[in-house]
Amino acid sequence: MTSFADLPLIEPPDYRHAWDFFGSGDEVGSLNRVSPAALCRAAGLVREGKVLSLNLPLDKPRVDVSGFRETYVHHVHTIAGGRDDYLDRFYLQRSSHWDGLGHVRFKKYGYYGGRQETAEDRGLGMEALARHGIVGRGLLLDVARYGNIAGEQWEPTRPTEITPALLETVAERQSVDDLEGDILIIRTGWLEWYLQTATGSNHQDHNLSSPGLSAGADMAEWLWDHKFVAVAADNPAVEVLPNRGHGFLHSRALVLLGIVFGECWWLKDAADDCDRDETWEGLLVSCPLSLPGGLGSPANAYLLK
């Protein structure tokens, strides 16, 4: 398997891409790396029959890092024999969600695979991820819990960079000795803090501060070389906010490597369960909306143990 250092450079010195790695026209990115054998191994992690939801209700949290994603309006009306309903202003990058491969572009080079804005070149809709499914071994690294256990003052509002070294330290603390793919789940504690403190019906904050993955090339390299195909976290952006000037991990990982990002996932219940039985992995099953041309989707994610 090609290492990160062997991937071609798109912009020196350290922006590497995997756009040709899975063939021309690919629309599911690094999810291609989950083999049938890996899926069978992941299915074997279900031993107790537990189903742990990783989703918030769609109306939470009230955070809007963009400043323009309004809260949806739910309409219900009575029809013959029952009721029907629909949503207005339903932004797909709110609540617990996935960022699709068509959500972010990298400068002039475009979206994943070099796609541009033209209709015939656009592609990368959520329907491709929905057909494929986001399924595999889910590995939860509880950085927030590690910080407390280690006697450190872990602050969910501090822009602490979670480095590859810190992730490996957390894995060691959790007695996790297998850091090879598929879906990495990071608990920072930010979402729990936010839900306890945020007020108002539609809170907007352009200056959010949260722990998150470091944004440099070393993190992109670590994710790729460890064969992670998706990363989800309980913070607003997966990566640290505000950015410390080391680049943009969405560009390095999502756009250039095809690693989809899950944001604002509810992880406390799953983390508590994992801590109780000292098992930090399970079969992760996520069914994104099959929305043609969609750029994001509610996560609809569960960890089965």
- Structural domains of the chain, with CATH: 8-304 (3.50.30.50)
* pTM (2 d.p.): 0.93
* pLDDT tens string 176-210: 999 988 999 999 999 999 888 864 334 455 567 89
* pLDDT tens string 87-145: 998 999 989 999 999 999 999 999 999 998 876 666 899 999 999 999 999 999 999 99
The C-alpha atoms of residue 202 and residue 25 are separated, in whole angstroms, by: 39
The conformation of residue 115, written as its DSSP 8-state character, comes to -
E strand or H helix at 271:
helix 268-277
Query: What is the pLDDT confidence band of residue 262, given thresholds at 50, 70 and 90?
Result: very high
Q: What is the mean pLDDT of residues 12-40?
A: 94
The predicted structure's pLDDT at residue 121: 61
pLDDT of 76 strictly over 80: yes
**Of 96, 84, 34, 25, nearest in space to 228 by CA:** 34
The predicted structure's pLDDT at residue 202: 43
The predicted structure's pLDDT at residue 214: 95
The C-alpha atoms of residue 254 and residue 72 are separated, in whole angstroms, by: 26
The predicted structure's pLDDT at residue 32: 96
Q: Across all residues in the chain, what is the average pLDDT?
A: 91
E strand or H helix at 212:
strand 212-213
Query: What is the pLDDT confidence band of residue 276, given thresholds at 50, 70 and 90?
Result: very high
Backbone region of residue 133 per phi and psi (left: phi > 0; alpha: psi in -120 to 50; beta: other values) = left
The predicted structure's pLDDT at residue 246: 76
Distance of CA 95 to the CA centre of its chain: 12
The predicted structure's pLDDT at residue 304: 98
pLDDT of 70 strictly over 90: no
* pLDDT tens string 224-255: 999 999 999 999 999 999 887 778 999 999 99
Asked whether 113 and 26 are in contact (CB, 8 A), the reply is yes
The C-alpha atoms of residue 144 and residue 235 are separated, in whole angstroms, by: 12
The predicted structure's pLDDT at residue 305: 97
* pLDDT tens string 144-163: 998 776 667 788 888 999 99
Burial 170-191 (b: 16+ CB within 10 A, else e): bbeebebeebebbbbbbbbbbb
How many Å is the Cα radius of gyration of the chain? 19
Query: What is the pLDDT confidence band of residue 167, given thresholds at 50, 70 and 90?
Result: very high
